[in-house]
A and B are shown apart, each in its own frame.
Chain A
């Protein structure tokens, strides 16, 4: 199977990460205003999820962690070296694992679904697939990595 070029992958990663920043920022702003994200199809799912004790870790809304992750992924798309490839993969993997856990909580513990959280989980899953493809397809393809990165120095 022919892989898309790395440039194409990077462009898609940047686009999806930007969408993710939008979604996570909306959830954070809606929460900080004392309210909850509005569900597009009505229903109180978002309110229930946002008001549950799982929505914050050490007082910080989990969506804030989402923003940090998406920003890191967006940044990784602007660099062409192994650090960016592996960094992007590691962040997307962590984000994907966290999304799986949060979705489990929504379904089995909070018993409510928030579309915005599902949207973020879907975006993170796409980013995980893209970054995994980028790592598998292009790791080690550039010249010596930038100084101070994953390069093994031979003198």
Chain B
């Protein structure tokens, strides 16, 4: 009997020792795993930071800002080439702009959204963008890139997204990589076709043609606006209105 008790006692002690050894082993293993995980996470974060810092300065679609804001501004508004709004809208507002121009950027962010969400959405007016490329050598290719996006129904997405990610004038940011990133970010479906068209004589010629037209109209800076409607005598020049209110009033008068 006592021999059996002894055996059971020894067995219990052995089990307890084994459990303690197991717990110690487990603790060591867990702490080793933990330390390994810390190094792994540290390495991943470092790699992510290095990768994202090396792709700075535009040209990378993943760096584009305000993609969703542009989407919500122009989605649901009909687009035909560079015309935003119902094609049957009685009044046509024409903007002569340069994608590299900071004032055009300010217009696109602060003034035009009010008009787009108001009279354009209501079908009273449509806005056409025409290139007036005066800033620098990267302006005409950027303009043609927007026209090529327009051919796929994404012209205004392209303009708005470009402006919202615009770099410093003539700093060289508006290279092919940047133009392509904006095309992808603005939802241009067929990038190969867009690439072909933006370099075509038709669209590069169109940029030159509208620039010459703006000069002929007497415009000297961007953006400059003109308006056509049932109550205007052909195309009337608005120059550069200072507020959205002035543009809205001009649309009312032209209606």
Q: With both chains docked as a complex, state the minimum distance between the C-beta of A77 and any C-beta of chain B, in angstroms.
A: 17
Docked-complex contact A104 and B49, CB < 8 angstroms: yes
In this complex, the member of B24, B34, B185 whose beta carbon has the largest number of chain A beta carbons within 10 angstroms is B34
Q: Does A86 contact B (CB under 8 A)?
A: yes
In this complex, the member of A48, A82, A109 whose beta carbon has the largest number of chain B beta carbons within 10 angstroms is A109
Docked-complex contact A86 and B48, CB < 8 angstroms: no
Give the contacting residue for A139; candidates B30, B64, B67; CB below 8 A.
B30
In the bound complex, residues from chain A placing their C-beta under 8 Å from that of B185 are 53
| Bound CA–CA A53/B185 (angstroms) | 9
In the bound complex, residues from chain A placing their C-beta under 8 Å from that of B52 are 104-105, 109
Known contacts A53-B65, A101-B45, A109-B63; decide if A152 and B25 are in contact (CB<8 Å): yes
Q: With both chains docked as a complex, state the minimum distance between the C-beta of A140 and any C-beta of chain B, in angstroms.
A: 3
Q: Does B38 contact A (CB under 8 A)?
A: yes
Docked-complex contact B31 and A136, CB < 8 angstroms: yes
Closest to A110 in B: B65
B55-74 Cβ-contact flags toward A at 8 Å (1 or 0): 01000011111111100100
In the bound complex, residues from chain A placing their C-beta under 8 Å from that of B67 are 51, 53
| Bound CA–CA A134/B66 (angstroms) | 41
Stretch at the interface among A8-16, A18-26, A66-74, A90-98: A90-98
Q: With both chains docked as a complex, state the minimum distance between the C-beta of A151 and any C-beta of chain B, in angstroms.
A: 7
A57-89 Cβ-contact flags toward B at 8 Å (1 or 0): 000000000000000000000000010011001
Q: Does B42 contact A (CB under 8 A)?
A: yes
In the bound complex, residues from chain B placing their C-beta under 8 Å from that of A52 are 65-66
Stretch at the interface among B15-23, B89-97, B111-119: B15-23
Known contacts A51-B66, A93-B37; decide if A86 and B22 are in contact (CB<8 Å): no
In this complex, the member of B22, B28, B53, B61 whose beta carbon has the largest number of chain A beta carbons within 10 angstroms is B22
Docked-complex contact A53 and B64, CB < 8 angstroms: yes
In the bound complex, residues from chain B placing their C-beta under 8 Å from that of A54 are 62
Known contacts A48-B65, A136-B31; decide if A94 and B41 are in contact (CB<8 Å): yes
In the bound complex, residues from chain A placing their C-beta under 8 Å from that of B37 are 89-90, 93
Docked-complex contact A108 and B53, CB < 8 angstroms: yes
In the bound complex, residues from chain B placing their C-beta under 8 Å from that of A151 are 22, 26
Q: With both chains docked as a complex, state the minimum distance between the C-beta of B249 and any C-beta of chain A, in angstroms.
A: 28
User: In the complex, how many residue pairs between chain A and chain B have their CB atoms under 8 Å apart?
Assistant: 86
| Bound CA–CA A104/B46 (angstroms) | 11
| Bound CA–CA A98/B30 (angstroms) | 22
* Contact-residue bracket for chain B: 35 or more
| Bound CA–CA A104/B29 (angstroms) | 33
Q: With both chains docked as a complex, state the minimum distance between the C-beta of B69 and any C-beta of chain A, in angstroms.
A: 5
| Bound CA–CA A152/B38 (angstroms) | 24
Docked-complex contact A140 and B18, CB < 8 angstroms: no
Q: Does A129 contact B (CB under 8 A)?
A: no
Docked-complex contact B63 and A97, CB < 8 angstroms: no
Closest to B24 in A: A140
Docked-complex contact A135 and B66, CB < 8 angstroms: no
Docked-complex contact A152 and B48, CB < 8 angstroms: no
Q: Does A143 contact B (CB under 8 A)?
A: yes
Docked-complex contact B30 and A100, CB < 8 angstroms: no
Residue positions of A touching B, CB distance < 8 A:
34, 48, 51-54, 82, 85-86, 89-90, 93-94, 96-98, 100-101, 104-105, 108-110, 132, 135-136, 139-145, 150-152, 154
CB<8 Å pairs between A and B, sample of 14: A48-B65, A53-B64, A53-B65, A86-B34, A89-B37, A97-B44, A97-B45, A135-B30, A141-B23, A142-B23, A144-B22, A150-B29, A152-B25, A154-B22
A-B pairs with lowest CB-CB distance, top 8: A140-B27, A97-B41, A140-B23, A139-B30, A139-B27, A140-B26, A97-B45, A51-B69
New A-B pairs, 13, CB < 8 Å, besides A86-B30, A136-B34, A144-B19 = A51-B66, A51-B69, A53-B63, A54-B62, A82-B26, A89-B34, A97-B44, A108-B53, A135-B34, A143-B19, A144-B22, A150-B26, A152-B25
